[in-house]
Structure formats: structure tokens, C-alpha cells
Amino acid sequence: MRAAKFQGENKITVENMDTPQINEGEILVRVAVSAVCGTDVRIFSGQKTKGVRVPSIIGHETTGVIEKVGEGIEEFNIGERVGVIPVIPCRRCHYCLNGMENVCAKRVAIGYEFDGGFAEYLKIPKEAIDAGNLVKLPDSVTFEQAVVTEPLACCFNGHKKANIKVNDTVVIVGGGPIGLMHVQLAKIAGAKTVIVSELVEHRREKALIAGADCTVNPEEESLQGVVQRETDQLGADVVIMAIGVPSIVNDSVQLLKKGGTINLFAGFTKGIKTEIDPNLIHYNEVNIVGTSALKRTDYLTALSLIESGQINTDVLTSDGYSLNDIEKAILDVKNGVGMKSLIHI
């Protein structure tokens, strides 16, 4: 098979290698479409290393067709269309037993400890099958739509922590694919006003298509001024940071009304710190929450939202990439050239 192998910082090569052999309890998937995540960009750039093997096949947003089924598996059949939940919880640790499997102390993941989806074939390990991490896709959902289920599920996990309510004003900092997923989830939850802060013009345009009420280029206009204007000087109920920029965390906290919530959704580069004025938290009683990965139930909810047509997936993705274009697909996401790069394999 052909696969894109991550060789270390800023280096990825497309190679011929042996197709994985499956054992009892395992499944081989012929990959149809994989997508580039912002985390893949951070891995490629050397900004994220935990769980990443060098060399290895990365990519954790994947859909495909079952090619082979190992002995002992009865619930899946050759030819079925499937999506992959990459994070595999142990289901036994303190966090798994207390409703926090997304931060499982012993979690492993496809695209990290196991080879991922930037390849023609993907082996689904027994522990993933046993945990329910392979999901059959509805006939009405295309591979191109289904491949965004995993990041949408992560956003849904963050959405619950942000506790967006009917009539809220929500600010999304960052208008990339993740930001526009949050836009749509906020509108589904009943948010009255959704404001997107984004530097790139085409992403601001897509944010409006996704349902944002207004967009701001923070280099040309005061984001705080817009938020104050839209909220009668109160501030936002919820701010979601969909980009991992430490230097603007404190500014983002200042956008909140008293009692508001900021969700630090995006990952930040390890070792880079930010300063937050503690008085903003103390006197304004604001809540600061984070979000890590997804639960398996979040994936099923996200897939249902896509199937029902409540999520516009077209506005989230950029098509036209093949495995040969893997480096360009990653760099285009990094540089904001398109949206989420879809790799047809």
C-alpha cells in the first residue's frame, strides 16, 4: 500500500509499504477520505509530540470501507462503510469510571500510538473494536461529510462545557473549520448572536454562511468594541478560543460579561505560557474551562447532527487533495489557504 509517513519535524514522505495484516478481533479498512486536523499541523511542525511515534503514519479523521474482518468479529462485515473514533479509552481508570473517558489516564489513539489514516489501508486494533470505536455510517451521509464527525464531536464536547444557552451572545475566536463548527453548534443551541473574530477574509465569509451574525477582522476593528456594542455594554456570555494563541487569552477573557464562560478549546504549544489578570476572574466571577478530545457518545451525536442536515459540512472543508499532496494539504491548513483539507485516498 501507499502511505504518508511522518519522519519528524516538517518532514513527511509518501512511500510504498506492506499492507497491514490483521489478527483475530481486528479489522482492515480501505481508506476513502481522511482529513487534516489542526493537531496534524502541530505534529508536522514539531509543536505536538505526546504519543507521536517517529516514523509513523499520522491522521486521525478517517472514513472508509471494511476490506477484511478478523476471526471472532460478528457485528461488522466486508463492504460496510465506517467512520473511526480515534481516542480509545481503557474504560477502567478513575476518569473513565467517572464520565471523563476523553481524558482517560491510559488512553491511546489511532494516528498516535497506532498508525493512522494517511494511508490506503488502516488497521483497526482489537481494543478499538472492543470499545466501540468503529462506527457504521448511514447510507445518506457521504465519506466527505462523515470525515468531519470526529472534530465536530470534539466541538460538541466543548459546547457542553461552555454551556451555551438560548439567547446567549457567543464570541468565537478563530474562523477556521473548528470555529465554524462552534458557530453552527451555538446556533443549534439557540444563541441569539454569534460573533466570529478572524483575520482571513475568505474564512470570515464562510463564517457568515455557517450562521455567524457578524464577523470582525481584529487587525482593523476592535473586537471588544464590537462585543460591547452588540451586548449593550454587558459583554459576551460565552467566548470560545478556537485558535491556540496564548497572547490573546487575557484579551479574550475581557470580552466576557460577569459570570460568563471562556472555553480554551484549541490546543496550545507545550511550554508557551500566557498571563491572565486574576482580578478578571475574581471580581467578574468568570469561568475558565478547557476541552480535550471527545467521548464515544459525542461522536454518535455529531454523526446524527450531520445525518439530519443540521450541520453544513461543505463550508468546513476544502476538496481536491490526494495522498501525493499530503504536505500541501497540511501546509494549506497551517497557512489558512483553505479550510479542512480532504484527502481522497
pLDDT digits (tens, 9 = 90+) for 227-244: 999 999 999 999 999 999
pLDDT value, residue 90: 97
For the segment 135-167, what is each residue's pLDDT rounded down to a tens digit? 999 999 999 999 999 999 999 999 999 999 999
Q: From residue 235, how far is each of 127, 212, 325 by CA, in Å?
A: 46, 17, 43
What integer best gives the mean pLDDT of the chain? 97
For the residues 102-130, what does the mean pLDDT come to?
Answer: 97
Q: What is the pLDDT of residue 269?
A: 84
End-to-end CA, the chain: 11
Inter-residue contact 339 to 183 (CB < 8 Å) = no
Name the DSSP class of 264.
E
Confidence of residue 47 (pLDDT cuts 50, 70, 90): confident
What pLDDT was estimated at residue 250? 98
Enumerate domains of the chain plus CATH numbers. 2-148+313-344 (3.90.180.10), 155-290 (3.40.50.720)
Q: How far apart are CA 150 and CA 84, in angstroms?
A: 8
Nearest to 62 by CA among 90, 28, 95, 92: 28
Per-residue pLDDT tens digits for 35-46? 999 999 999 999
- In the chain, the percentage of residues whose pLDDT exceeds 90 is 96
pLDDT of residue 271: 86
Q: What is the pLDDT of residues 158-214, one digit of tens each?
A: 999 999 999 999 999 999 999 999 999 999 999 999 999 999 999 999 999 999 999
Task: Note the pLDDT of residue 48.
Answer: 83
Band (pLDDT 50/70/90 cuts) for residue 50 is confident
Is 230 in a helix, a strand, or coil?
helix
C-alpha closest to that of 177 among 259, 242, 125: 242
Q: What is the value of pTM for the model shown?
A: 0.96
**pLDDT at 272 > cutoff 90:** no
Q: What are phi and psi of 61, to 5 degrees?
A: -110, 100
Question: Shortest CA distance to 250 belongs to which of 226, 284, 219, 200?
Answer: 284
How confident is the model at residue 222, as a pLDDT?
Answer: 98
